[in-house]
């Protein structure tokens, strides 16, 4: 996916489920022609059930509704949940599902991790928020901190084109899809859709990060849930700090997976030695994948800065060049730094301890070459499994979960 910068866009930052879900559900409930949803996770909790109801309402009003979920992240959707969607006319597809072996999910690598939504070709959403109740404050201490962006303007056409190709990889037998009217200018922001796949755009997101950090002159703030980037990105961060740029990283202090913090801690010492400020967000698990540079360049999306997102998963970020949007995001992140983070500290080490030096050397070479060895990890041409109404169950999908299979060749998913 390669698109030019689009000017004339409106970008609105949405923080956590309290801002994101009402905006998305409002857009879906007002849809007249088309709803397209791509998401890693849908759970059958209060958020997933509200999405379910909104999609059915839109389909019954006559809108074409397409949904793509990941076969790993959304593997527990029940037959009843899928049946009611299919009966209403919602076209539900699952990205590369696989049967469990001894109750264990084995389809871990190369997942569809994007979170993109387009309604009527006029409004789009992108970010890191899944359709699950753990993105709401009332979920408790494990509620996630995360971000998304609502977009209007010409960038919506690029997102629509991309998700349409991904979600409808074969000729559609259900009639032509609605053709969105070109979006008129809606605001002052320039925007760019950047994706990562396992074909022609393997490092696009990382390249845009590196280029923005390399050109930074005053400040870099990155908030990222799973931080274990490649050597070249780390090098740009350290170089920026050495030339006087105020570089801040907001990472997990209360991680949802302990190994996340353990891995990131291996990088603290070399980063801090060159002047990078590392902050651990401690209020709850951090799930965000955002950055703001020089009060002008911002990105919001699904891509973490770790080997899974940078070398394996299918990801999508939106980059925005707009001072008002950047200042809004910078203010939200600065609040986290000032009120909900603690400075990351490297444990003192013995002068005669060789283990830290050995460990750092191993990590250095792992990071330096991970994008190369990632190509050798298992891969195959992924499939989309379609939930179709079964003749044995009125309006229900294939009860065995097999559905109908479509090739993903047109989606650049390999």
| Active site residue ranges | 113, 115, 120, 287, 289, 294
Residue ranges with strand state E in 136-263: 147-152, 189-196, 219-224, 246-252
Question: What CA–CA distance (Å, rounded) separates 152 from 117?
Answer: 12
| Contact present, 145 and 135 (Cβ < 8 Å) | no
| Contact present, 352 and 235 (Cβ < 8 Å) | no
Torsion, CA 108, CA 312, CA 69, CA 64, rounded to 10: -160
Question: What CA–CA distance (Å, rounded) separates 333 from 291?
Answer: 9
289 pairs with which residues across the strands? 224
Question: What CA–CA distance (Å, rounded) separates 386 from 95?
Answer: 9
Q: What are phi and psi of 299, to 5 degrees?
A: -140, 140
Place of tokens 């849908």: 42
Question: What CA–CA distance (Å, rounded) separates 266 from 275?
Answer: 16
Which residues, in sequence order, are CB contacts of 372 under 8 Å at separation 6+?
none
Buried b (16+ CB within 10 A) or exposed e, 260-292: bbebbbbbbebbbeebbbbbbbeebbbbbbbbb
Question: What CA–CA distance (Å, rounded) separates 312 from 113?
Answer: 10
Phi-psi region of 379 (alpha: psi -120 to 50; beta: other; left: phi over 0): beta
- Residue 99: in which H helix or E strand, if any? none
Which three-class secondary structure state does DSSP give residue 326?
helix
- Residue 57: in which H helix or E strand, if any? helix 46-60
């Amino acid at each position: 996916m390669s698109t030019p910068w689009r000017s004339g866009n409106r970008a609105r930052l949405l923080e956590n489920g309290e801002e994101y879900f009402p905006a998305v559900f409002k857009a879906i409930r007002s849809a007249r022609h088309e709803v397209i949803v791509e998401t890693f996770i849908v759970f059958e909790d209060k958020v997933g059930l509200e999405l379910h109801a909104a999609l059915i309402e839109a389909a019954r009003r006559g809108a074409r509704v397409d949904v793509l979920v990941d076969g790993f992240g959304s593997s527990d959707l029940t037959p009843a949940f899928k049946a009611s969607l299919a009966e209403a006319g919602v076209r539900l597809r699952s990205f590369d599902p696989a049967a469990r072996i001894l109750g264990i999910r084995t389809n871990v690598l190369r997942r569809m991790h994007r979170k993109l939504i387009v309604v009527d070709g006029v409004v789009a959403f992108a970010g890191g928020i899944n359709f699950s109740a753990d993105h709401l404050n009332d979920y408790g201490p494990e509620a996630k901190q995360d971000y998304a962006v609502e977009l209007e303007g010409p960038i919506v056409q690029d997102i629509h084109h991309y998700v349409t190709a991904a979600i409808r990889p074969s000729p559609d037998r259900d009639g032509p899809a609605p053709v969105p009217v070109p979006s008129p200018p809606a605001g002052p922001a320039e925007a760019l859709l950047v994706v990562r796949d396992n074909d022609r755009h393997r490092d696009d997101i990382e390249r845009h990060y590196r280029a923005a950090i390399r050109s930074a002159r005053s400040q870099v703030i990155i908030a990222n849930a799973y931080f274990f980037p490649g050597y070249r990105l780390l090098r740009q961060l350290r170089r920026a700090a050495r030339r006087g740029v105020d570089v801040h990283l907001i990472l997990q202090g209360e991680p949802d997976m302990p190994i996340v913090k353990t891995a990131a801690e291996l990088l603290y010492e070399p980063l801090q030695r060159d002047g990078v400020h590392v902050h651990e967000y401690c209020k709850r698990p951090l799930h965000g994948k955002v950055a703001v540079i020089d009060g002008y360049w911002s990105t919001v999306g699904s891509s973490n800065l770790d080997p899974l997102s940078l070398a394996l998963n299918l990801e999508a970020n939106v980059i925005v060049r707009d001072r008002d949007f950047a200042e809004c995001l910078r203010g939200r992140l600065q609040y986290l730094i000032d009120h909900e983070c603690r400075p990351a500290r490297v444990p003192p080490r013995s002068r005669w301890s060789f283990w830290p030096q050995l460990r750092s050397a191993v990590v250095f070479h792992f990071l330096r070459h991970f994008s190369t060895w990632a190509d050798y990890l298992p891969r195959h041409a992924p499939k989309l499994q379609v939930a179709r109404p079964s003749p044995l169950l009125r309006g229900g999908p294939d009860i065995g979960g097999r559905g109908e299979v479509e090739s993903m060749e047109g989606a650049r998913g390999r």
